Amino acid sequence: MSVEPKTVRCPHCGKNNRVPAAAEGHPRCGNCHQSLPWIVDAEDSTFTQVVDKASIPVVVDLWATWCGPCRMVSPALEQVAADLAGKIKLAKVDVDASPQLSQRFEVRAVPTLLVIDRGRVLARQAGARPAAELRAWVEEALAGGSAAESSAATGSAGAP
């Protein structure tokens, strides 16, 4: 799979924009210049480009097609991505199609959610939550909140 641009309708003015999966900075509407929600798909072959090298923090949704709670958490995360447009990017990873990522992040339950900033895992949690809780969790991770940081620091500290 390549990283094809997606068409995103601007929530501010309604204009359709083509939004790339990976780019410098973050996408803005070509018409009204407001920040656009950045919601992309990622997999083993594109994760480095789409997530690790992203210039803003990325919320990663590790989901599976057969997972009921994932179908509830995905729209909640899309709401968070819209609320925090310009501050975060949302990347969805189908764990069954991305065995390397499942292994890298030791995914034992879906959905597993990660907040990643420049390749470093700031926070992770498993299971479904309502949008308001997810947003609070993401904002806390971005603020460097201690509650969001559990075992995440150990795995990435020595990484190249």
- The catalytic residues are 67, 70
Question: Residue 132, interface with Zn ion (CB under 5 A)?
Answer: no
Smallest gap from residue 34 Cβ to Zn ion (A): 5
Which of 1, 13, 109, 153 touches Zn ion by CB under 5 A? 13
Stretch that binds Zn ion, among 3-11, 42-50, 93-101, 119-127 (CB under 5 A): 3-11
Question: Residue 31, interface with Zn ion (CB under 5 A)?
Answer: yes
Which residue's entry shows tokens 């809780």?
133
Phi, psi of 7, deg, nearest 5: -90, 125
Asked whether 141 and 99 are in contact (CB, 8 A), the reply is no
Of residues 32 and 126, the one with the C-beta less far from Zn ion? 32
- Please report, for residues 7, 65, 96, 108, 113, the alpha-carbon distance to residue 122 in angstroms, rounded to integers and kept in the order given: 29, 26, 24, 18, 11
Question: Residue 6, interface with Zn ion (CB under 5 A)?
Answer: no
Of residues 23 and 97, the one with the C-beta less far from Zn ion? 23
Question: Residue 12, interface with Zn ion (CB under 5 A)?
Answer: yes
Question: Residue 156, interface with Zn ion (CB under 5 A)?
Answer: no
Binding stretches for Zn ion (CB under 5 A): 10, 12-13, 15, 29, 31-32
